[in-house]
Structure 1
């Protein structure tokens, strides 16, 4: 009988698997640009002078330092070893044996159960080999299922990467917003302090009333309270940024918004939906899991089929009675077929369980697909609204600046009261904060849209 040994190609665990036109596991290690960014991060950790940090640099630092990235990679490597473990059932099983027996020569075993009832004093050595010929697809389907699970773990690692990128963008834009609000608050305090000084001088000269000075001082106190709140929010946002970047100590960054956030949105949400269905790694992971569950279900059904193995043994017995060992050498080959007949319905129950699990995996994939469609539509609507808010708040800020200039001029000419000037100052401050918030929120809305469509850079 000729034994056909199949050759299998090892799955090499690489950091990249294609998802559409994207890499499945892009790691921030080799490029010189990434090393330069990490050098900037080291400088920010050790230097007292603030270091400029863009969103792209923050993403690179987070991907290099955040432990969730390494967890995803390690789980993918674990699953690769599971593939090797499962495939071992298709490869030869070779064992060596050394045996020595001291016995009452030719005595008989009268109790218990051993392979041979006669005891012989001897020493020998040999090897045994067992090779699976066929189990009608059971082991092969288990190997395929393990490989598909490995692809799912790689997709999970990519999903973790995109989660970290989105979390970094969210905290980055929150910090940008807090930074801009603090800057507005500081400018407001400075402007109102100047007004208090001017009104105080005019009041001393009996050109303004004490009521005007009181209003100016109240406005200054309100601005200082705004500055305190803005400073606290900025410090809290920086702490969150340090955490997502993987630092357990404060760093000294000055965030840079980067390019103009008024980039045009894709006009057709349908193209975004198609990109999301193709590129989302979490959806890809569930699809791989579903296919793995189907392969596993098929393997469980195939447990009911026979298993055929080839067996062989060869060895030598240099020490032993010639009466019972006429030759030093021994050897034999054979074929064994194992046919499952009845095992208490265990195989049928395992097959049914695997079938239900495969159906549940398919439903989970369907459910996530529906969620992806909803999330992409929602993200597109939010980004579109955020873009409109940037335009509206920009116009509001221009009008508030104009109104403040007119109010200041009217007050200096004595044509209006300080109440009108205070109202104009308040409106200008609110408009400046609203415009800064709208711009940072639009930047994050674009990042969220890229995340939902699976097109993170």
Structure 2
């Protein structure tokens, strides 16, 4: 028996341990992200997205609130009166005052009201659902902006990381060259000015390393901020620049119809529909409203407060009926509202036309920027290769004693400038591609929710 109890306790301890370990693993926050994973994380944790999701939930609740207006409205009431001065209606033949009523009175009951017909309610119900759809699209717009910012920050971190490797190679190369030149100077094969020239470049690359370190820290901080990630926690990037592909086919997209993919244009369409429904709802308010009303309750009157509370002194009463409300004149309020809404619809239509033109300009501008960035990237990549060859050739001549130290320094400076221009143009090209995708409306699509 005791052995069985021990086995049971061990089994329970093992099960609880497994549960704790599993819970710890399930709560583990990832620290390594690909571009796609960073975007997905931002969709769940970015504060701006959270605010947009809450706004969407609020609009959903507002729709339910509006639906509640069409459901039965039931209210209960109770009232107790003490008539310390009864109503007097003249005097009798003896001159005594004639008073009506009783010292105590009270009533309790329940009332019901049910909407039977209200044209504005039916249209308003449809409008509230359209408003909910508008909130969903505004959430999508916010997510597109976050995707843009996350991708830019991710690329900035990648470019700075790769640039650090290039700067580190420059540092190692100059450090070795400085050491060799100092040894040559000690042995009388180089002048002091040769050492000083190289040391100037060496000090510059040391400073460049420190600056690059700060740029990387800022890039990661920006990325974590856009993701909604803890800024104090370190993260790793899974992707590499070699994994990224610049898509030249984006520049051949049809600019004329790009606006149809833009969430901003979709939002304008929804706003137009919403305004149209609001105007229709306002016009339906000219029609009569019909409600079912019912009341049931009890009343009591008497001069004896003690007997007031006995059930025998409470008498029931009830009624049921139909109430119709007909608007006659409201000072032209609804007419003025209808005219205002018509103007607002015209305003939205004009905004839609303007949006079409703006999108065409944005796409053309982004496509030209990407084209220019790709050409610049190719040129700077070629320049970097040429500058590297010039540096290696100058260094070989210097080491063989047939070249000057100044030639090596100039070649090294040109090589570093070419590297800086290349990485700057690479980031510009990646950002230009993001801008073109956003202009085309293809940067981010929300997957449809399953029914």
Bin for the TM-score computed over the shorter chain: 0.7 to 0.9
Q: What displacement does 1:358 show? A: 2.9
Q: Which stretch shows the higher mean deviation, 416-425 or 300-309?
A: 300-309
Cα distance change of structure 1 residues 272 and 419 upon mapping to structure 2, 3 Å threshold:
same
Instruction: Report SS of the residue matched to 1:344.
Output: coil
Work out whether residues 202 and 208 of structure 1, in 8 Å CA contact, stay in contact via their aligned partners in 2: yes
2:111 to 118, 128, 135: 128
Q: Distance in 2 between matches of 1:368 and 1:56?
A: 30
Q: Distance in 2 between matches of 1:162 and 1:206?
A: 65
User: Which residue in the other structure is 1:84 paired with?
Assistant: 64
User: Which residue in the other structure is 2:369 paired with?
Assistant: 382
The 5-angstrom pairing of residues 120-269 of structure 1 reads 123-135=106-118, 137-247=119-229, 249-255=231-237, 256-257=239-240, 260-266=243-249, 269=252
User: Which residue in the other structure is 1:66 paired with?
Assistant: 46
1:360 aligns with 2:343: no
Work out whether residues 53 and 139 of structure 2, in 8 Å CA contact, stay in contact via their aligned partners in 1: yes
Instruction: Report SS of the residue matched to 1:161.
Output: helix
Normalized per residue, which structure has more helix?
Answer: 2
Q: Distance in 1 between matches of 2:79 and 2:132?
A: 42
Instruction: Report SS of the residue matched to 1:40.
Output: coil
Work out whether residues 247 and 433 of structure 2, in 8 Å CA contact, stay in contact via their aligned partners in 1: no
User: Which residue in the other structure is 2:274 paired with?
Assistant: 292
Instruction: Report SS of the residue matched to 2:248.
Output: coil
User: Which residue in the other structure is 1:441 paired with?
Assistant: 428
Work out whether residues 255 and 360 of structure 2, in 8 Å CA contact, stay in contact via their aligned partners in 1: no
For this pair of structures, how many residues does the alignment match? 401
Q: Distance in 2 between matches of 1:371 and 1:407?
A: 52
1:414 aligns with 2:401: yes
| Residue deviations 1:276-308 (CA, integer Å, cap 9, x gap) | 434433332232122111111222233233222
Instruction: Report SS of the residue matched to 2:285.
Output: helix
User: Which residue in the other structure is 1:332 paired with?
Assistant: 319
Instruction: Report SS of the residue matched to 2:30.
Output: helix
Q: What displacement does 1:69 show? A: 1.0
| Residue deviations 1:293-333 (CA, integer Å, cap 9, x gap) | 1111222233233222232233455x468xxx999543333
1:96 to 57, 66, 76: 76
Q: What displacement does 1:37 show? A: 11
Q: What displacement does 1:59 show? A: 1.8
| Residue deviations 1:33-52 (CA, integer Å, cap 9, x gap) | xx9997323xxxxxxxxxx5
Q: What displacement does 1:174 show? A: 1.9
Q: Distance in 2 between matches of 1:72 and 1:236?
A: 27
1:40 aligns with 2:22: no
Q: What displacement does 1:340 show? A: 2.0
Cα distance change of structure 1 residues 399 and 259 upon mapping to structure 2, 3 Å threshold:
closer
Q: Distance in 2 between matches of 1:254 and 1:403?
A: 36
Q: Distance in 2 between matches of 1:391 and 1:123?
A: 93
| Structure-2-length-normalised TM-score | 0.78
Q: Distance in 2 between matches of 1:228 and 1:37?
A: 36
Q: Which stretch shows the higher mean deviation, 83-92 or 158-167?
A: 83-92
Q: Distance in 1 between matches of 2:117 and 2:346?
A: 28
| Residue deviations 1:423-448 (CA, integer Å, cap 9, x gap) | 22122222223223333333333333
Work out whether residues 151 and 285 of structure 1, in 8 Å CA contact, stay in contact via their aligned partners in 2: no
User: Which residue in the other structure is 2:93 paired with?
Assistant: none
Q: Distance in 1 between matches of 2:167 and 2:55?
A: 47
1:394 aligns with 2:376: no
Q: What displacement does 1:215 show? A: 1.8
Q: Distance in 2 between matches of 1:250 and 1:272?
A: 43
Cα distance change of structure 1 residues 64 and 327 upon mapping to structure 2, 3 Å threshold:
closer
Cα distance change of structure 1 residues 221 and 106 upon mapping to structure 2, 3 Å threshold:
closer
Q: What displacement does 1:191 show? A: 0.9
Q: Distance in 1 between matches of 2:276 and 2:159?
A: 48
Q: Distance in 1 between matches of 2:78 and 2:366?
A: 69
Q: Distance in 2 between matches of 1:140 and 1:67?
A: 36
Work out whether residues 293 and 361 of structure 1, in 8 Å CA contact, stay in contact via their aligned partners in 2: no
Cα distance change of structure 1 residues 268 and 176 upon mapping to structure 2, 3 Å threshold:
closer
Cα distance change of structure 1 residues 326 and 223 upon mapping to structure 2, 3 Å threshold:
closer
Instruction: Report SS of the residue matched to 1:391.
Output: helix
Q: Distance in 2 between matches of 1:37 and 1:223?
A: 43
Q: Distance in 2 between matches of 1:388 and 1:61?
A: 34
RMSD: 3.2
Q: Which stretch shows the higher mean deviation, 57-66 or 150-159?
A: 57-66
Instruction: Report SS of the residue matched to 1:441.
Output: helix
1:423 to 410, 414, 417: 410
Q: Distance in 1 between matches of 2:181 and 2:187?
A: 10
